[in-house]
Amino acid sequence: MTCANPASPARHNTARRHIGQALAAAAAVVALAGCEDKNTFVAPPPPKVEVAPPVQRPVTRYVEATGNTAPIKSVDLVARVQGFLQSIDYQDGTFVKQGTQLFTIEPETYKLKVEQAKAAEVGAQATVKQAEADYKRQVELVQRQAVSQSTLDTSTSTRDNAQASLQQAQVNTRLAEVNYGYTKVSAPFDGIVSAHMVSIGELVGVSSPTQLATIVAMDPIWVNFTVNEQDVLRIRAEAARRGLTVTDLKQLPIQVGLQTETGYPHEGHLDYVSPTLNTSTGTLAVRGVVPNDKRVLLPGYFVRVRVPFTQEKDALLVPDTALGSDQGGRYLLVANGDNIVEQRKVQIGPTDNGLRVIESGLKPDDRVVIAGLLRVIPGQKIDPQVTKIGQPQASAK
């Protein structure tokens, strides 16, 4: 009979555990090796970014400023003679033509003074006629030696005094007529008359001329503005290059727009350029004149002004949204030949039809990043999607 070994089952179980742990460890190593193969780092593809060459086209260069309108004629209508205001012959704020009667100041007194002066003039003419006849008689008598020379001298003096009195009477008549004309206040030019400042029956012109109203000419109208020293130097350099004189500069066109208008719908020409700069502001005073037959522009408006002074044939333009800025100034992001993003410092100019003129720092064949700027940085490689500026841009992905 064989005796059983009580320790054998325990040893078998222990062996099985060791074998199981070894197999599990081997399986873990294999699994870890598989995971390491699947988690190997793969660089993401370069981002797709829209780029476009700058627009190249002729651009007119302007001097731009803010100005204000002013009437070319504005006159205070005053009473130049004393009297009671008899009538107001216009409606406040209406447009009147030159010569339209606006006020009447008690004309009867001055009409009588004209008649009085004319009567005195007729009397002086009769005296001259009599003195002249007496002078001629005395000349004949002296020639016949019938009277003395002293008698002729007296006659000559009387004639000369009579002629002087006649001239004085004629002057008095003219003065009376002028004062009589002042009783009717008329429009000195076409314009709009303000509200009257006196009432009918009021005594005017007592101690000094009394202001009755104001008349303002509306067509054409002046536009006053200033040009900074840098623009003055640019204009003078361009004028010298083109051989323009000061007279030629005064004929440059001027374009004007109100704050609520789009563009510059009102056109005129330069009228005056100050001979000196204002040393306190470093600006030059300039004035233009603009037709205003529809009276759209009122005196005192603030307006946008621009004056074209030269044209660049091949200007480079990009959207304003493509521009960035930092402490060094304005810049553009450009894709080079290896599709690496570069930061280009640029000098910007004015806008033209919604695009910004680039003065320097950009070439015609450069590819400018125009969309997805927030997803790229200088030195990054990109997948450029070439498009054209001015076409509808696809949304950045």
> DSSP secondary structure string, 312-358?
EEEEEEEEGGG-EEETTEEEEEEE-TTSBEEEEE-EEEEEETTEEEE
| Within a domain: 21 | no
pLDDT reading at 198 higher than 60: yes
- The domain boundary, picked from 309, 329, 360, lies at 309
The pLDDT value recorded for residue 33 is: 52
pLDDT-based confidence at 10, cuts 50/70/90?
low
1 found inside a domain: no
Residue 25's pLDDT is: 55
> 153 or 211: whose pLDDT is higher?
211
Would you give the DSSP letter of residue 100? -
- In one-letter notation, the amino acid at residue 176 is A
pLDDT of residue 397: 34
Question: Is 243 found in the same domain as 254?
Answer: yes
Q: How confident is the model at residue 28 (pLDDT cuts 50, 70, 90)?
A: low
**Is residue 122 assigned to a domain?**
yes
Does 119 reside within a domain? Answer: yes
Domain-located, residue 363: yes
Q: How far apart are CA 306 and CA 240, in angstroms?
A: 21
Domain stop point among 309, 332, 347? 309
| pLDDT at residue 302 tops 80 | yes
With a cut of 80, say whether residue 1 has pLDDT above it: no
pLDDT of res. 52: 92
Beta bridge partners of 333: 343
pLDDT range class, residue 18, cuts 50, 70, 90: low
Question: Are 240 and 121 members of one domain?
Answer: no
Do 281 and 261 fall into the same domain?
Answer: yes
Q: Within a domain: residue 290?
A: yes
* Same domain as 370, residue 251: no
Closest CA to 80 of 179, 217, 219, 155: 179
The boundaries of the domain holding residue 188 are: 75-107+183-216
Report the CATH number that the domain containing residue 253 is assigned in CATH.
2.40.30.170
Is residue 310 scored above 90 in pLDDT? no
Tokens of 214: 């104001």
**Residue 256 and residue 146 in one domain:** no
CA torsion 215-221-225-230 (nearest 10°) is -150
Has residue 281 got a pLDDT over 60?
A: yes
Asked if residue 29 belongs to a domain, the reply is no
Residue 305 and residue 85: Cα distance in Å, rounded?
Answer: 44
The secondary element (H helix, E strand) that includes residue 29 is helix 8-38
Euclidean distance between CA atoms 179 and 119, whole angstroms: 17
Does residue 367 sit in the same domain as residue 321?
A: yes
Secondary structure letter of residue 396 according to DSSP? P
| Cα torsion 143, 149, 155, 158: sign | positive
Total of domains in the chain: 4
Does position 14 have pLDDT exceeding 60, yes or no?
no
Q: Which one is predicted more confidently, 152 or 219? A: 219
3-class DSSP state of 224: strand
Q: How far apart are CA 294 and CA 298, in angstroms?
A: 10
Give the lowest-confidence range in 38-42, 116-120, 215-219, 375-379. Answer: 38-42
Do residues 370 and 267 both lie within one domain?
A: no
* 66 and 84 part of one domain: no
Question: What integer best gives the mean pLDDT of the chain?
Answer: 84
User: What are the helix (H) ranges across 39-107?
Assistant: none
Q: What is the pTM of this model?
A: 0.67
